[in-house]
Amino acid sequence: MLREGQFALDLLLPLDREAGRLHRQIEQGLRDAIRAGRLVPGTALPSTRSVARELGVSRGVVTEAYAQLVAEGYLVARQGAPTRVAEAPEPSAPGGRASRRPSPAPYDLMPGRPDLAAFPRDQWLAATRRALRRMPDAALGYPDARGTPELRDALTAYLGRARAVAPDPERTVVCSGVTQGIVLIARVLHERGERAIAVEDPGFHLHRWSLERAGLEPVGVPVDEDGLDVGALAATGARAVLVTPAHQMPTGVVLSPERRAALIAWADAVDGLIVEDDYDAEYRFDRGPVGALQGLAPERVVYAGSASKSFAHGLRLGWLVLPERLATAVAVERLALDGGAPVLGQRARAAGLARGDLDRHLRRTRREYRFYAGRRCSPRSPSTRRAPRSPASRRGCTRCPPARRRGRGGAAQRAGAAGVAVQGLGALRVTSTGRPGSCWATRTSRSRRSPAPSRPWAPWPGPEPWRRRRTAVQGR
């Protein structure tokens, strides 16, 4: 990628003096570089004088090319400042390709994001500076693939206190989010001969997809108001299950005490494994805190958590607490994958956790999120007013009125057309047997007016590879 301050030669503009008008060739070369992303938005171009000198053409030729690209919206010129690549080039010339950036929905209620504007930047900056200053040289070597001892100790203290996890730093593995943790576990299970894993239906489609990619077949099990249906789970024949007990994703229900006991009894009976995704556990406003399932059966349950819902998903910071029989194998997988997490971030986080950064951040954001917790996405719609309230947390499911006419699309599609970005439940279902017309939305929103283009679960530029219907539910 070309960056600011490079000279004309670095623009790699091919000029063929026999091939016609030179300014057109320069224009086309720059246009291609911008479209291909070789020249990124905001890049300052060299002056017309220096480009002319490098290319051996008159300055007027380059000036004409720049002026044309400014007129087309590819470049921005300001007096006294270098000409720059436009922030979001919107070609206006005939035949120009339309920008593929999605335009932001005016009201962005896409779930799954914390309030990123609340991220405590100063705190993290100070913690990172301190960690770097105090880090001995030896700590810059290859880390323990499970995570630095300081971070595993700090996590142990926090998870034991706040989530009732039965903690053990020797069985803790730092990973880049719950998603990577799930992949590590799936690989170990696959190596040990497992071929299927039960998952909640509806449930998080990207984790199903990750499981599949690691060689396990996800088998959907229905969820009701008490959480996962353990009877239906037993009928699947699977010996491993992925659950979200503290906040079922997406319905928001909590796994009831009876179901918790039944789930652990099931795992004992089949010598199985429960993977507990402690999704969104920090933000419940309708009840007291629900402790982690892992604390009840540390040898049957893998605990998986991350900073994605409390701080920011872009941090890619997560952790696993494992049963003894899996701890070494999962650490070996992590070692094989990438050698472990970067040490500087780990040391900064360890110090931050020990100083109570997470507790302070949770107190602050809970106040904000509580405000939105009881709200619906569409208070003016009579049919959403009649819908049963989903549990008070910062995300919730809302039943939407059916389309009046055929072909108007699903609830999320129609909401999108009206300028409200929400997540339809269709993608989250394993089977297509659920009721149509539900959508899932966040209620947290400083982003009531979207600050940025909305990116529905698509950290992926092309067609979404996880969009494939999965195995039918057994025992339903």
Ligand X SMILES: Cc1ncc(COP(=O)(O)O)c(C=O)c1O
Q: Which is nearer to ligand X, 229 or 280 (CB)?
A: 280
Q: Which is nearer to ligand X, 179 or 444 (CB)?
A: 179
Q: Which is nearer to ligand X, 26 or 412 (CB)?
A: 412
Buried b (16+ CB within 10 A) or exposed e, 188-223: bbeeeebebbbbbbbbbbbbbbbbbebebbbbbbbb
Q: Which is nearer to ligand X, 8 or 223 (CB)?
A: 223
Among the listed residues 264, 267, 292, 288, the one whose alpha carbon sits nearest the alpha carbon of residue 278: 292
| Spatial distance between the Cα atoms of 86 and 69, rounded to a whole number of angstroms | 10
Tokens of 132: 């770097």
| Spatial distance between the Cα atoms of 265 and 253, rounded to a whole number of angstroms | 21
Q: How far is the CB of 42 from ligand X (least distance, A)?
A: 28
Backbone angles phi, psi at 318, to 5 degrees: -145, 180
Binding site for ligand X (CB under 6 A): 112, 177-179, 204, 244, 249, 277, 279, 306, 308, 313, 318
Q: Which is nearer to ligand X, 43 or 442 (CB)?
A: 442
Q: How far is the CB of 35 from ligand X (least distance, A)?
A: 32
Q: How far is the CB of 277 from ligand X (least distance, A)?
A: 5
Cβ-contact 377, 395 below 8 angstroms:
no
Cβ-contact 154, 349 below 8 angstroms:
yes
Q: Which is nearer to ligand X, 48 or 310 (CB)?
A: 310
Q: Which is nearer to ligand X, 314 or 409 (CB)?
A: 314
Residue nearest to ligand X (CB): 177
Contacts 24+ apart (CB under 8 A), 403-408: none
Q: How far is the CB of 83 from ligand X (least distance, A)?
A: 39
Among the listed residues 306, 339, 340, the one whose alpha carbon sits nearest the alpha carbon of residue 320: 306
Q: Which is nearer to ligand X, 48 or 365 (CB)?
A: 365
Q: How far is the CB of 308 from ligand X (least distance, A)?
A: 3
**Which are the contacts of 321, defined by CB distance < 8 A and separation ≥ 6?**
159, 165, 166, 167, 168, 171, 172, 294, 298, 302, 303
Q: How far is the CB of 7 from ligand X (least distance, A)?
A: 41
Q: Which is nearer to ligand X, 62 or 243 (CB)?
A: 243
Q: How far is the CB of 304 from ligand X (least distance, A)?
A: 8
Q: How far is the CB of 313 from ligand X (least distance, A)?
A: 5
Cβ-contact 180, 222 below 8 angstroms:
no
Judged on CB neighbours under 10 Å (0-12, 13-18, 19+), 157 is: middle
Q: How far is the CB of 92 from ligand X (least distance, A)?
A: 38
| Spatial distance between the Cα atoms of 37 and 39, rounded to a whole number of angstroms | 5
Q: Which residues pair with 107 in a beta bridge?
A: 420
Q: How far is the CB of 448 from ligand X (least distance, A)?
A: 20
Q: Which is nearer to ligand X, 8 or 317 (CB)?
A: 317
| Amino acid identity for residue 349 in this structure | R
Sheet with 240-243: strands ordered across: 172-175, 318-321, 301-306, 273-277, 240-243, 196-201, 217-224, 227-228
